Amino acid sequence: MPGPECKWSAETGAPCGTDDSSGCLAPVFVYGTLKTGQPNHRVLLDGAHGRAAFQGRARTLEPYPLVIAGEHNIPRLLNLPGRGHHVAGEVYEVDGRMLRFLDEFEDCPDMYQRTRLRVALEGARAPLECFVYTTATYPPEWVHLPYLDDYDSQGKHGLRYNPRENR
């Protein structure tokens, strides 16, 4: 959770100070290939991209549709609060450099949009507001895909994620 000295930009929604010395950290909820044990988790561990500190497992307070879609079987959290499941994921505190890296990595704002949602963090007394990468623009048929509550690239769904390096 951001420290009390952290200010959020009302214009961009980004944490204050984009330099790495600001000490400003932002909570980010990850639900797909960035989770522990998933194909892209390594980018959160690479200090060259900035700092990411694991805070714990969490679930969205509101239900959301989590689907696997597109030719590369990418997990997408559709920005339709109130539909779907309480999605499981992880929360990381990231610095400004990592947040900028994640924006680029997630092709924000073209493929994903960085929005905010509230999660129940395991062991926390109060809900936590986090950044999350959601999909607001998508083919209408995606709404009718099966909704997951916990993504696993090797899950029983049988839809194998196609890693970036293979595209």
Q: How many CB atoms lie within 10 A of CB 107?
A: 10
Half-sphere exposure of residue 164: CA atoms within 13 angstroms, side-chain side: 10
* CB contact set of 21 (below 8 Å; sequence gap of 6+): none
Selection from 59, 83, 76 nearest residue 112 by Cα: 76
- The residues assigned a catalytic role are 106
> Can you say whether residue 118 is alpha, beta or left, with left for phi > 0 and alpha for psi between -120 and 50 degrees?
beta
DSSP string, 53-113: EEEEEEEESS-B-EEEETTTTEEEEBS-TTSSB--EEEEEEE-HHHHHHHHHHTTTTTT-E
Q: What is the DSSP letter of 129?
A: E
